[in-house]
Structure 1
Amino acid sequence: MSKELKPSSMKVQEFLSKNGQDFVVQEMPSSTRTASDAAASIGCTVAQIAKSLIFKHGETGEAVLVVASGSNMVCADKVRKATGITLTKADANFVREKVGYAIGGVPPVAHNSSVHTILDEDLNQYSEIWAAAGTPNSVFKLNPQKLSELTQGQWIDLAK
């Protein structure tokens, strides 16, 4: 773990600090781009990875953040039934434009603009979870309650 953070990770660290959190963004020596990579790098289970997925709102075209357990696939049907939001695929350009990060490093916080956030209730079973922190090899540890507070997300059953 290096002490020097890249600008994208520093943006996340600054957001956390400004919001009264003592979470520490860590640059890992190996990839955290996928949930499997992140779990292997960190030494936790894949399910403890809080993967941030950006979708496009089918009706408004706005960004929707889904923070899912690393072991779950998102069921768009369950999301639509619980929230009324139809999720459509977002490409890399859309993700970078709307939230300010590249796919594989999207954090659940510190976005360019506010995003509607949906949280996977399966994350609540863990006392500690890990989220991306702006780059494909940076992460920070938190708990589900803090994830909820920081994102103002809606908890739903969203796993396929």
Structure 2
Amino acid sequence: MTDALPNRSRLVAASLEAAGIPGQIIVLPDAASTAALAAAALDVEVGAIANSLVFWSDDEPLLVMTSGAHRVDTAALAERLGRGGIRRATPEQVLAATGQPIGGVAPTGHPTQLVTVVDEDLAAFPEIWAAGGTPHTVFPLTFDDLVRLTGGTVAKVD
């Protein structure tokens, strides 16, 4: 039931429904703004958490959906993607690009479609979990659904 969801999560739920993705957004009692907190709250491996990290690259936002088990190697990823460089977006850039706060950025529900990279390591998990637009909301989906939902490029990110 989307009526009980925060406004930002309603946008994410509508996007999931439009894409035909069955996972429903759930509201957690405590914030899960890091992969470790989300994994503990959901009782899953930290690697099954799809972290939504927003970077700035070639004068545009770049969304990297990475496994919570490791960090993004921005220099190596920039080289793989043929980009001039990749740096962390500021909190203001994240909010402007996604409409969502750091710690709750979903892979969808943004004002415009973002260029997205999906960590190939997430394919190892039959079910992955992503933020639902706020630090208190998450939803399950498959790797294939994540790639389809974001239109992302699958790549090694660490």
Q: TM-score range by the shorter chain?
A: over 0.9
Identity within the alignment, %:
34
Deviations 1:7-35 (A, max 9, x none): 01111111111122221000011221100
Q: In the alignment, which residue of structure 1 is the partner of 2:50?
A: 50
Unaligned runs of 5+ in 1: none
Amino acid at match of 1:127: P
Amino acid at match of 1:115: L
Q: Which aligned runs of 4 or more in structure 1 are off by greater than 6 angstroms?
A: none
CA RMSD, 1 decimal: 1.3
Would you say the 8 A contact 2:13–2:24 is kept in 1?
yes
Amino acid at match of 1:93: E
Q: In the alignment, which residue of structure 2 is the partner of 1:69?
A: 67
Question: Per-residue deviation at 1:146?
Answer: 0.4
Question: Per-residue deviation at 1:37?
Answer: 0.5
Q: In the alignment, which residue of structure 1 is the partner of 2:23?
A: 23
Amino acid at match of 2:68: G
Unaligned runs of 5+ in 2: none
1:13 aligns with 2:24: no
Deviations 1:66-110 (A, max 9, x none): 000001100012211211122112111111011110000000111
Would you say the 8 A contact 2:52–2:63 is kept in 1?
yes
Which moves more between the two structures, 146-155 or 84-93? 84-93
Would you say the 8 A contact 1:3–1:27 is kept in 2?
no
- With the length of structure 2 as denominator, give the TM-score of the two structures: 0.95
- With the length of structure 1 as denominator, give the TM-score of the two structures: 0.94
Residues paired across the two proteins, number: 156
Query: 1:37 is paired with a residue of what secondary structure?
Result: helix
Matches within 5 A, 1:9-158: 9-57=9-57, 59=58, 61-85=59-83, 86-158=85-157
Question: Per-residue deviation at 1:156?
Answer: 0.9
Deviations 1:37-92 (A, max 9, x none): 000111101110000000011x2x21100000001100012211211122112111
Question: Per-residue deviation at 1:3?
Answer: 7.4
- Name the CA shift for 1:63/1:72 in 2 (closer, same or farther; >3 Å): same
Amino acid at match of 2:97: K
